[in-house]
Structure 1
Amino acid sequence: MNLQEQLEQVTAARVSRYNNALYILKHPELFEELSILCFSSDKKMATKASWVFEFVCKEKIALLEPYCDYYIEHLPRVTHDSIKRPLSRILLVLLEKLKKDNSITKYLNKSQEQQIIEMSFDWLIGDEKVAIKCYCMRILFLLGKNYDWVHPELKLILEQNIAAHSPAYKAAAKDILKKMHL
């Protein structure tokens, strides 16, 4: 069974996504194909691939590092929420690891950082689901440490929008505002 056939069997059930991720972890040579399928024009395939991709990357984010260029280049083109949510979460996990290892500049150039910042602001102020917005505000907080204009802009957006959003958005926004101390 090839990877696409296997992904067709994936369901939204956590155990299904996890078991398929374990298969990829046992066969890391399939990771590149999985990452490409996350950006497939077949929405159903891209959704299932991104579900599995999230679980794989949460277990072993280092698999993504050689494919950062491809991932960052294609991420802003994603339009479906079911794909944006896991992929934005993985971007946050990647940035947290790179920040912790002090290796962001090893894997991301300034142009890519700016592309991520632009996309994150677009998704934060756009008509996205709350989880995506929460990942984006955390991404912006991390990258904003390297760009002096990002935190003030993020603060302004969060303060303007906090009253109109869900409790999850409010909690994440309050946490970010507290961390920024602006």
Structure 2
Amino acid sequence: MTSKDLKQELQNLKAYKQERVRIGEAVVQHQLLPDLIAFCRPESGVSHQACWSLEQSFLLQEEACYPFLKEICELYTRNINSSGKRPLCKISGILTKKYYCNKDNLIKKILHQSMREQIVEGCFQELISTDRTANMAYSVYSLYELGKEFDWIYPELIPVLQQKLQENYGNGFKSSARRILAKIEG
């Protein structure tokens, strides 16, 4: 598979998991992660499809993605549509959970402060601007973890979550929001 082949595959990609997994695996196998990450940018024309595939590359071959975390974190500050942001928010949830856990791991060495700040920016933007509950839930969990380091996050996050709880979102998101509020306040 070449970069050109990858773009063609992404142009034809539908949301079926089997296809996303196939492309995600092929990208790692053919060492095309830099190309896939570049295709995640909005100007590529295949941004959300590339983000779907990046999620699968990350879930299936997480450590192969580590050398490209700087480029992945830069995506959080880009204007990617909600369909593409969901997999990025899911990746941020995994990264932040590992970074702030008590066990020593490689993420603690390679997820630099500037990268964490980009995740904060992207997750807050997604939480505030989207009505997609999966995106919001992943963002909230990431922001909760990041708030363990950045002391300004919780005072900003609490009123946003309280407002979202008053709005017409599904019970799944509301349950997540209440759980995070209880952790912050308790």
Q: State whether TM-score is above 0.5.
A: yes
Q: Which runs of 5+ in 1 are unaligned?
A: none
Task: Give me the whole-angstrom Cα distance separating, in 1, the residues matched to 2:153 and 2:93.
Answer: 16
Q: State the partner residue of 1:42.
A: 44
Which residue of 119, 122, 129 maps to 1:119? 122
Task: Give me the whole-angstrom Cα distance separating, in 1, the residues matched to 2:28 and 2:113.
Answer: 31
Task: Give me the whole-angstrom Cα distance separating, in 1, the residues matched to 2:26 and 2:114.
Answer: 34
Q: Any idea what the Cα deviations from partners look like across 1:103-143, whole Å, max 9, x if unmatched?
A: 55522333332332233222212234111111111110011
Q: Any idea what the Cα deviations from partners look like across 1:89-109, whole Å, max 9, x if unmatched?
A: 112222223334455552233
Moved more, 161-170 or 110-119: 110-119
Shift in CA distance, 6/123, structure 1 to aligned 2, threshold 3 Å: closer
Q: State the partner residue of 1:179.
A: 183
**Count of aligned pairs:** 180
One-letter identity of the residue aligned with 1:145: K
Contact 2:93 2:138 in 1 (8 A): yes
Q: Which runs of 5+ in 2 are unaligned?
A: none
Task: Give me the whole-angstrom Cα distance separating, in 2, the residues matched to 1:24 and 1:98.
Answer: 25
Shift in CA distance, 24/112, structure 1 to aligned 2, threshold 3 Å: closer
Contact 1:130 1:166 in 2 (8 A): yes
Contact 2:42 2:78 in 1 (8 A): no
One-letter identity of the residue aligned with 1:122: Q
TM-score after normalising by structure 1 = 0.86
TM-score after normalising by structure 2 = 0.84
| Overall identity of the aligned pairs, in % | 29
One-letter identity of the residue aligned with 1:119: G
Counterpart mapping for 1:12-27 below 5 A: 12-27=15-30
